[in-house]
Amino acid sequence: MKKSYKKLLINNKKWVSEQLELDPNYFENLAHGQTPEYLWIGCSDSRVPANTITGTDPGEMFVHRNIANMVVHSDMNMLSVLSYAVEVLKVKHIIVCGHYGCGGVIAAMGNKQIGLIDNWLRHIKDVYRYHHKELDQIKDEKQRARRFVEVNVMEQVHDLGKTSIVQNAWKHKQPLHIHGWVYDINDGIIKDLDVTFTCTKDLHKVYHLD
């Protein structure tokens, strides 16, 4: 087996010396702690690296990634990240960023059984069912997949607002905005879906928690 992983360690040493050349205190300063303003919830897809596509540096963005950038209410990993980001780091913005050509979303549109992942994709299928009237009308499969990516992001923004973590922050007047974005892997551009939630009133009243 070719030891391709070795290049990662070589790159790391190169990166360290580059950073130190620019700022001898770079790591010392970062080691003091983090005060990121953003929580990023994105897809695990290797083509959508949060820091690279947003021009942010280490220390600027708290990141959670999973297949198809999902906010699943029983996911302890996501809830722990969300709780720490909102309650301790007090991030000001949460960004759910999907991407066109998302393998998870495309797989969720089909009926082929893949394996364990089917249980995860089921959450994405639920989104399809909520929006099936609009999605079924789009005959072109590629266009339907693109719209599905967008409505999936919108649902995840919604799902964030439904959590007690986000609603408690709003209740305590903590400034916290939730945004829905889609990254286009074809041209690198991020599209803001303009589905920003800033308070409990942005949710249907059945979800309001006193």
- Catalytic residue IDs: 43, 45, 47, 99, 102
Q: 60 φ, ψ to 5°?
A: -95, -20
Measured CA angle at 20 (ends 30, 27), to 5 deg: 15
Rule CB under 5 A: say whether 150 interacts with Co ion: no
Among the candidate windows 19-27, 43-51, 110-118, 152-160, which touches Co ion by CB under 5 A?
43-51
Does residue 72 contact residue 119 with C-beta atoms inside 8 Å? Answer: no
- Compare residues 145 and 166 and give the one whose CB is closer to Co ion: 145
Rule CB under 5 A: say whether 102 interacts with Co ion: yes
DSSP code for 42: E
Q: 188 φ, ψ to 5°?
A: 80, 0
- Compare residues 86 and 108 and give the one whose CB is closer to Co ion: 108
Contact string (CB under 5 A) for Co ion, positions 45-64, x = contact: x-------------------
Rule CB under 5 A: say whether 43 interacts with Co ion: yes
- Compare residues 46 and 137 and give the one whose CB is closer to Co ion: 46
- Min dist CB 16 to Co ion, Å, is 30
Rule CB under 5 A: say whether 166 interacts with Co ion: no
- CA–CA gap between residue 193 and residue 181 (Å, rounded): 5
- Number of residues counted as binding Co ion (CB under 5 A): 3
Rule CB under 5 A: say whether 96 interacts with Co ion: no
Does residue 197 contact residue 204 with C-beta atoms inside 8 Å? Answer: no
CA distances from 89 to 104, 106, 169 (A): 30, 34, 12
Rule CB under 5 A: say whether 94 interacts with Co ion: no
Rule CB under 5 A: say whether 97 interacts with Co ion: no
CA distances from 158 to 8, 38, 39, 179 (A): 38, 18, 16, 10
Residues near Co ion (CB under 5 A) are 43, 45, 102
